[in-house]
Chain A
Amino acid sequence: MDSALLIHRLHFAFTVTFHYLFPQLTMGLAPLIVALKTWALRRNDETWNQAARFWARIFGINFVLGVVTGIPMEFQFGTNWAHFSRFAGGVIGQTLAMEGMFAFFLESAFLGLFLYGEKRLSRWGHWSAGVLVFVGSWLSGYFIIATDAWMQHPVGYMPGPQDVQLQSFRRLVLNPWALWQYAHNMSGAVITGAFVMTAVGAFYLLSQQHREHGRIYVKVGVVAGLICSCVQLFPTGDRQGRLVARYQPVTLAAMEALYTTQHGAPLHMIGQPDVENRKIDNPVSIPKMLSFLTYKRWNAEVQGLDAFPQQDWPQNIPLLYYSYHMMVGLGTIFIAVMALAALWLWRGCLYESKPMLWVLLLMFPFPYIANTAGWLTAEIGRQPWLVYGLLRTSEGYSRNVSAGNGMFTLLGFLGMYTLLAILFLFLIRREIEHGPES
């Protein structure tokens, strides 16, 4: 691979992966904070209000990090992916500009008011500011997903000599791919929010401090976590998978490391793809399951990689395969853990069950891994295309920015983001240590 191309890809991949660690928590926490706040106002309960304030502080720190790591994303479309921007800017520029106009203005205006303006507002005024922040952050997510969905499944455009132009705004914004991807992504974000909230609650209960808050966080987190973990699998994950099967069959074959076309294709639960010999090593499979999941028929034919020219295969099949399996495997574990915790909660013994609280505490990194793996699956699965079927990744980067300059700024971001991560962990640890009652 051309080294400049590789560096520009790593540049975007690294900065966007790091960036998305923060929005997934803010988007996931936003509805939970609104729920806490609503409960506090309806029951006139100060503990729940304190809980809402505590999580708003965690939200605030994440939001700052999300903002500062988010600005480079918009810039990089132009700086590192100039040819792609020229090609597709007339279409995806719409959704990106709308994100600024409709989501960022809303969020930035009302977050300050929600975090610091409680005394300046009435009780329900403050609640409304929280709701507007929630709406802003979820709108922002939609515009980004609509942008990515267009790259996965371009619709509503008109090809020109050097670029594509918008033909149907409605089709761009209501891209079926965007709707399911959005549902899948947002429920994934709420899973992160719920697991983090549960983990902090479990930590307070295990360390015998702020017990009342600990119980609230575990309760809210487990309920939200269970609902969203299930929604993540069905219907959103299922429908997303069927879209991939329909519009990117070669991606599906690579995700499952299915090298040969077959009727009644098995689903590999475990196994290592062997790229050189075009097979899968040490598979543990469920016969005919892939056919059933994809087409709802046990003997349906599923196209393998051999049905497609090799130049259209995703280049990194092992990474794609492992990301996808990691995402699905973790998603399944989330359902199991949350179902068990919900059962304990229902029976009234969750707050005293040390082993279960330990599990809930230690689970919090895994939704981050699952969300990241999911995005890796989507973006590596789209390769070798930047805009599926229209523009190859190798044609999209800025050819006037040399590999050396790209490397310089990539290293700059690596260093800077390492410092940011340390700073972030330090500040979050402080908030958790101070607790919700300060």
Chain B
Amino acid sequence: MPTLWFLIVALMMVAYVVLDGFDLGAGVCHFCVAHTGEERRQVLRAIGPVWDGNEVWLLAAGGTLYFAFPLLYASSFSGFYLPLMMVLWMLMGRGLAVELRSHLGSPVWRSFFDGIFVLASSLLTIFYGAALANVIRGVPLDQTGYFFEPLWTNWRVGAQTGILDWYTVLAGVVAFAALAQHGALYLVTKTQAEINLRARHFASVIWPLVLLLTLASLAATIHVQPAVLGNFQAHPVWYFIPVAVFGSLIVMAYQLRCVAADAAGAAKHEKAAFACSCVYLAGMLGGAAVGAYPEVLPARDPQYSLTIYNTATGAHGMRVGLVWWCIGIVLAAGYFVFIYRKFRGKVGAEAEGPY
């Protein structure tokens, strides 16, 4: 049963990163792909109707984590106190920027919220990458099951780690680049003309960087936390995940070329490239989940590690939860299909809606 809930929480996290990831990525490349005020409105119109629903995946995943693994929630949220509070402030800034930008016509007002949007989105991607790296690398848990990490110590991966060290910063940069590309590819599918071209160019330029950073992060992860290889070696079938990660990157590059070459079928290739990016992100997170299982928060001193077994709630609660979770996820999936269909197609320059 704990394994099933581990899977559920992991799936919800993947859904969050894939969905809200493109909102954040659109924020990262906002200034690069949209130059005029009108173009920036189009970027916001592309994510406007869906960003809030996407962010709900974070809350729903958090809530699910809370009830299925209470000790994990308690320990990690209090231990990562300072970065989480900053994540909160960034999430607040991003939400306000997207929703309030269009309330006034003043260019100063709009530029101000554009700036908040870019800054908050960019920092969020870096924080998310660093957070995941902290969970992979392990934290200084003691016998009480709690820890507290300062923002940084000596930037090395030692016994007294900080939130930021060379490894977690590297992961932050990986997340920044990968989500920027993800957001750009989403904008490619949702926009036309100039923005479409610039977004495509942005994705192509950043592609080699993403490839290099992915390789580097893979090497660094194996160096910092060799235990992640355990599950892969025991069950080689999981090696399909790294294959999918690199495969999706390569197909993505091919599809981007096709968009340029084949104007008639461009829309199809644009969607395929974005789908590759989704697979890439899901693969990166899935690989981390497989590497970590059954540990969910490794300790620097391995005997204190938190696993799905020593953090899980009682069996009855998990069984009951499964019933409503299945109903809830079907409903949620239904809303998402409905909303994405309602707002499908490219956004245009004409003024409809508020963004």
A residues near B, CB below 8 A?
Answer: 60, 64, 67-69, 71-72, 74-75, 77-80, 82-83, 85-94, 96-102, 104-106, 108-113, 115-117, 119-120, 158, 160, 163, 165-167, 169, 398-402, 405, 408-409, 412, 416, 420, 423, 427, 430
Judge whether B77 and A82 touch: CB under 8 Å. Answer: yes
- Given A68-B91, A89-B70, residue A101 in contact with residue B328 (CB < 8 A): yes
Chain B interface mostly: helix
Q: Give the distance in Å from the alpha carbon of A427 to the alpha carbon of B70 in the complex.
A: 40
- Interfacial residues of chain B within 64-99, with CB under 8 A of chain A in the complex: 64, 66-68, 70-71, 73-82, 84-85, 88-89, 91-92, 95-96, 99
Judge whether A100 and B63 touch: CB under 8 Å. Answer: yes
Q: Give the distance in Å from the alpha carbon of A165 to the alpha carbon of B70 in the complex.
A: 10
Judge whether A110 and B335 touch: CB under 8 Å. Answer: yes
Chain B nearest CB, measured from A150 CB (Å): 12
Q: Give the distance in Å from the alpha carbon of A116 to the alpha carbon of B354 in the complex.
A: 7
Q: Give the distance in Å from the alpha carbon of A119 to the alpha carbon of B339 in the complex.
A: 14
Between A and B, 15 residue pairs with Cβ closer than 8 Å are: A64-B99, A71-B92, A79-B80, A85-B70, A87-B70, A89-B74, A97-B325, A98-B324, A101-B64, A108-B53, A113-B49, A163-B313, A165-B313, A165-B316, A398-B74
Q: Which residues of A contact B84 (CB under 8 A)?
A: 75, 78-79
Judge whether B85 and A412 touch: CB under 8 Å. Answer: yes
Complex: chain B residue closest to A84, CB-CB: B74
Judge whether A74 and B63 touch: CB under 8 Å. Answer: yes
B321 within 8 A of A: yes
B59 within 8 A of A: yes
Chain A nearest CB, measured from B203 CB (Å): 26
Q: Which residues of B contact A116 (CB under 8 A)?
A: 48-49, 352-354
Judge whether A94 and B67 touch: CB under 8 Å. Answer: yes
- Given A79-B81, A97-B67, A108-B53, residue A74 in contact with residue B62 (CB < 8 A): yes
Chain B nearest CB, measured from A435 CB (Å): 15
Q: Which residues of B contact A102 (CB under 8 A)?
A: 324, 328, 331
Q: Which residues of B contact A408 (CB under 8 A)?
A: 82
Q: Which residues of B contact A160 (CB under 8 A)?
A: 314
Q: Give the distance in Å from the alpha carbon of A305 to the alpha carbon of B156 in the complex.
A: 58
Seed contacts A398-B146, A409-B82; 16 additional CB < 8 Å A-B pairs? A68-B95, A71-B59, A78-B74, A78-B77, A86-B74, A89-B67, A89-B70, A90-B317, A94-B321, A98-B63, A104-B60, A108-B56, A165-B314, A398-B78, A400-B148, A423-B96
- Residue interface mask B309-344, A partner, CB < 8 A = 1: 000011011001100110011011001101100100
Chain B nearest CB, measured from A354 CB (Å): 33
Residue from A80, A86, A98 within 8 A of B71 (CB atoms)? A86
- Given A93-B63, A119-B352, residue A400 in contact with residue B147 (CB < 8 A): yes
Judge whether B52 and A111 touch: CB under 8 Å. Answer: yes
Judge whether A106 and B331 touch: CB under 8 Å. Answer: yes
B103 within 8 A of A: yes
Q: Give the distance in Å from the alpha carbon of A387 to the alpha carbon of B199 in the complex.
A: 52
